[in-house]
Structures are given as structure tokens and as C-alpha cells.
Structure 1
Amino acid sequence: MSGENNPIAAPLAEVVQKYIPGATGIDALKRLSGGASQEIWSFDAVTPSGAVPLILRRAPGGFRDTGRSGTAVPLETEARLINLAAEVGVPVPPVRHVMTEEDGIGQGFIMDRIPGETLARKILRDEEFAEARPKLARQCGEVLARLHKVDKSKLPPLRVATGRDEVEQYFKTYKELDYPHPVFDLAFRWLRDNAPPDSTELTLVHGDFRNGNLMIGPEGLRAVLDWEIAHVGDPMADLSWICINPWRFGNIDMPVGGFGLREDLFAGYEAAGGGKVDPARIKFWEVLGTLKWGVMCMGMASAFLKGDRSVERATIGRRSSETEVDLMRLLAPLTGKEQ
């Protein structure tokens, strides 16, 4: 058993033998580099009929940091949301087991390991995904339509966030960072003036539906990953988040994730029963999503200046200036059409 010197190897092998039919142990245990806030472990369950590829999604060190942002849901909740999404036809990795205290591994869950690619650089450029790219925007719309149909009465406790709630949350963070950006001030004022009405119907929202959290194969979208900031909110937030410029990875003429057009995304959403797309709400959430990313970049820069000298924080931190350009393209487009 590879990884046998790892302290989670033995208890994980015991769990697998209990919950994976026919499993006799585990092999190829390794921690993956992805997962900014959770540990991601890849391994195989060993069975007489062959290896079963699995993923362990685990809290850092085994237990959730209660001091973390209140926007992140517990891993048990994340597993429950994945199961609910599967019930309405959203492609997700099936959850095999949610950890208990008796398992001795900490908080987390085991799910199937879905083959495919999450790196935008490869998805947007490699020949392997050439046939998938023209289909992806519509597929994303169809999947989001299914997701937004999850019965809210079945949901575990989740935060509820309207558009106005999100604006005020990020405005508070912006002020705390104490680094004025006039374009950000303009955007916050515009958002307050154009927030969706309080009567807007709210649904389950993934919260981070974008390149990097989508598993893609040569035929298209295979699975939606990383449900940790799911909440109840405006469904237009999911449709717009994947369209903001940072997730296009240089393909600015392809607003949907760098691979497709808004028209295809919206057509897929409406055809799959997601309801009529509201252009005004989409515009609001694209502006807010762009501004949110800018504030996040400011946070990275602030951490770097305070002593966290990681290259990643410095690189991302400097991108708040790019966000100002993106916001002006949305709020005062030269061509009369948002990009």
C-alpha cells in the first residue's frame, strides 16, 4: 500500500473496507496540489475486481477551522448538497461515505474520482477538448437550470444572501482594507442603485461555478466540483460568475469561461427549464462578481504587504488594477455593448 507511512493511511483503509463493497485496502494515496481551503487526497480502493478510484475531501488537519470565513459550509453539508444535486440530474462525483468521529480521520467525505481536466489552460487550448469547447456554454446553462430546481425544503442549513447582502458584505471588506480605488467606489454606488428587488426568487446557488471547478472531458462537462460556498441566493449569480473576465483566461471574446457565448449559456438554461434569464440581473451580478474579484485581489495584496511573501499572493494582488478596467468596460462600454 503506497502512502502507508501517512497517518491517515491506516484509518482510511479501515473506512474503505467498511463502506466500499469488496475492498481489502487502499493504494496510491497522495495529496493533490489543488484545494485552496480543503485537503484533497487521491487514492484507490483495492478490490478483487480491480481498483476503485476515489477522492478524500478533508478539512485541513482533519478539523474545520472555526475562525474561517462564515461563507464556507461544513464538509458534511457539502456532501449533502452533492447528493441533492445528483437527485436533479446535476453531474457530480457520487459520495461514498461522510466521515464520522469513529473513523479517526476528521471531517470530510469520500467520493468517486471522476477522470477529466479542470485546468483552464488545457481546456481552452488543447486539441483533446476541441469538440467539447463549442458545447460547454450550453451544457453549463442546462446544468445550472437543474441545480436551481433543487427543492429548498430539502436543503441543510445554509446562509441566505441577496444581491444587497453581497454588496454590503464586500463593501465592508473593501473599507477594512483601507486602500481607495475610485472605480470600485463607482461600482459600489452603481450596484446599490441597481440591486435586484427583495422579491427576487431565491434558489440553491453553487457560488463558484467556473473553470477550475468543472471537470471536463472530450465530450464536455462531466462533473461540478467544490460546493463549499453554496448558499441560497439569486440564480442569476451562478449564470454571471462564469462570465466575468478573470475566468476567461485571456479569451476575452468568449465571455462564458473563455469557451463560449452568453447566448448559448442562456439558451441552455431556458431550454432546460431554468426560467427566463433576466438581462438586468445578469448585468448586476457580472458587475458585482467583477468587483468581488477585485476586492479579493486587494486582500491578497494586503496579506503580502503585511508579511505573507508568497509569490501567489503578490501575483494575484496586483490584478486589482485589471479589475478596474473590467469594471469600466461593464459600466461605461466604449462600443455601447458590454464585453
Structure 2
Amino acid sequence: MSGVHDLGPRLASALQRHAGLNGRVEELRRLTGGATKTTWSFDLLTGDGRQPMILQQTPARLPSSGPSPGPSFGPCAPKLDAAEDARVMIAARAHGVPAPRVVAILDVHDGLDRGYVTARVEGETLGRKVVGDPALAVARAAMAAQAGAILAAIHATPTQQLPFLQHLSPAQELAVYGDLLERTGFRHPALEFALQWIRRHLPTAWRDALVHSDFRTGNLIVGPEGIRCVLDWEIARIGDPMQDLGVLCMKTWRFGGAPEAGGFGARDDLYAAYERASGVPVDPARVRFWEAFSNLKWAIGCVRRGLSVRGDGSPASVELCAVGRRMEEPLWDFFQLIEG
């Protein structure tokens, strides 16, 4: 990995090699950091003008014989490596999905971590602002219908050129998350009940499709006109498309907004737009199952974060401990949902 002082020149060289862009990197600044991904914003100044871009760096994925969920802010899930992530975005964008426009996919010859460069899209991503900022009121009025149409396009995206995508049935996802909880050694009656409920209500029939798996408020770039871009494709897979509608309707990801679709719109508007765009009827029972399962996944994710430790066995951070305490929120939402 290069140091910050030579990141700009190496990045400029990589863009010249992969995309034929000759320019100078300016305004380079780090946006986020973590164990799995680092994001930088920058401008590439070329003879044609200033091009706003994003660099995302991701460590190479460790080999695995099966699903191996890794840590992330959202629910744990099998992750794509950087090149795979980029290829999914390219495929989705080619099918009309507002995914980031991939400019270059980095490789070991660039002297940088594995990663990719995309065009930068301006807009709001913070969940509480998306659902509550008065300046985005017009956007919120349109977003449920926009989300339905976007999800229909995602689920219709051809996957023949994406052979690396994992194919996970509901039962396989349950096995993955049950194993994750088992490894923590943590026991809780509500978690055990939720696991059993999910096991008893596993869907028996569905139409496989590309699913984003984390399509929600916070992973959308929003402007005054509505949804501009869909971010965070790293846990995309082949599975039941109703999963994406369930995740979007999770109470956690409404960020305090009252409307059931992402905290910004009506569930009925989401369903109607999806059916118009896809020609496929929404199965409310399967959406409810995935909404419930997604609450359980996030509860398990909270447990894992809360129990994270350093090499010496001490708690990883106060922040992660605080996330662990939030386990009760998605569990409460789970019980409210299945009782309703």
C-alpha cells in the first residue's frame, strides 16, 4: 500500500494506464476508513477539465471454501472483492440501474490496495437528513416509486457474466448467520426464538435474481429530485428478490422516519412501482419474512461487534461495544413485526 504522500501520483498513473486519462490528482481527501474499505474523494484535472471521482480501496479477500461473512457496518454477509464489486456495478449500470460509473479497476501493478475508481455523484447519504431534511421533501415524495423501479431493474440484470456471485437460498443464509452466532458463544432467548421462527417460515419457492442485499436508506445518494445513485454493492448475490424490498422496509434503516419504505415513502407505493416496472407481483408474505430475517441478521451483527476484541483480548473499541448494546432494537422490531 502506498503512503498518503504518493497516493495522488500513483492514482494518476493508474487512471492513465486503465482508462487512458492523463491528468493530475487534486483535492484528495479521505472520507471514511475501516477494516474493510477506505474511501477517498478527489478531482482529476485533465485537458478537458476537472472530473470529480471516488477511490475505494479494499483489502484482497481471503480464500474461502464457502460463505464467510466478514465485518462491516451493515449486516454481515459474504463479501465480493473489489474487482467483483466493480463488475457488478458495471453490469447493473448497463441495465439502467443508477449504480456508480466505474472508471478503472485497480490491480497489483498500480502500487495501491485493491480497489476501483468511480465518477463522484453529489448528494446526501446521511439517513436522518434523507428522511427529515425539509430541503428533500420533494425528493421523498418520489423516492418510494423510484426505489421500486430501481429494484425491478436490479432484479432483471443479467448475471451470466457474473459467475463469482454466490447463490444463497433462504435456508443457506440462515445456516450462515446461525453459525456466526454460534461462534460468538453468546446465548439469548430472544435470539434463539427468532432463529426458530425464521427456520419455520423459510420460503419454499422464489424466482432467483441478482439482489443488492443492502438496498436501504444510507446506501442511496439523494438529490432534490430523488435517488441519484445506489451505493455499496459488496454483498450482492443471487437469491430471492423480495429480500431487497424487506431490507428497505426495516425499521432500523428508516432513521426515525415514519413511512415504512425507507423512512421516506409508503410501502404500497414501493410495491406498486415495483410491479409496474418488473411485471412481477410482490409477495407481501415473503417481503415480511425477509424484513423479519433482516432484523435478526442485524441483531447478530450487533452481537458480533459488541464482542469484538483486540489481539490482547481487550474490547476492540467503545464504539463497537455501544453497537453491541443495540441488539435489543432489531429484536424488538422483529417481535413487533411477527406479532403484527
TM-score (norm 1): 0.90
Matches within 5 A, 1:256-335: 256-273=261-278, 275-303=280-308, 307-333=314-340
Q: How far apart are 1:313 and its partner, in Å?
A: 0.7
What residue number does 2:196 align with? 189
Distance 1:298 1:179 in 2: 8
What residue number does 1:336 align with? none
Matched, 1:220 2:219: no
Matches within 5 A, 1:39-50: 39-50=38-49
TM-score (norm 2): 0.90
C-alpha distance after superposition, 1:81-133 (max 9, x if no partner): 11110111100121111113322223111110011111012111212211101
Provide structure 1 residue ranges, at least 5 long, that are not aligned to the other structure: 334-339
Provide structure 2 residue ranges, at least 5 long, that are not aligned to the other structure: 71-77
What residue number does 1:337 align with? none
State the SS of the aligned residue for 1:143: helix
Identity %: 38
What residue number does 1:102 align with? 109
Please, which moves more after superposition, 35-44 or 103-112? 35-44
Q: How far apart are 1:134 and its partner, in Å?
A: 1.5
Equivalences, count: 327
Matches within 5 A, 1:11-50: 11-19=10-18, 23-33=22-32, 37-50=36-49
Distance 1:43 1:134 in 2: 32
Q: How far apart are 1:319 and its partner, in Å?
A: 0.9
C-alpha distance after superposition, 1:40-68 (max 9, x if no partner): 111111112321001111114xx445587
Distance 1:88 1:236 in 2: 19
State the SS of the aligned residue for 1:57: strand
Distance 1:274 1:262 in 2: 17
State the SS of the aligned residue for 1:272: helix
What residue number does 2:185 align with? 178
Letter in 2 for 1:234: D
What residue number does 1:8 align with? 7
Distance 1:158 1:152 in 2: 8
What residue number does 1:69 align with? 69
Letter in 1 for 2:256: G
| CA distance 1:75–1:212, shift in 2 (3 Å) | same
Matched, 1:169 2:176: yes
What residue number does 2:138 align with? 131
Distance 2:301 2:183 in 1: 12
State the SS of the aligned residue for 1:229: coil
Q: How far apart are 1:209 and its partner, in Å?
A: 0.7
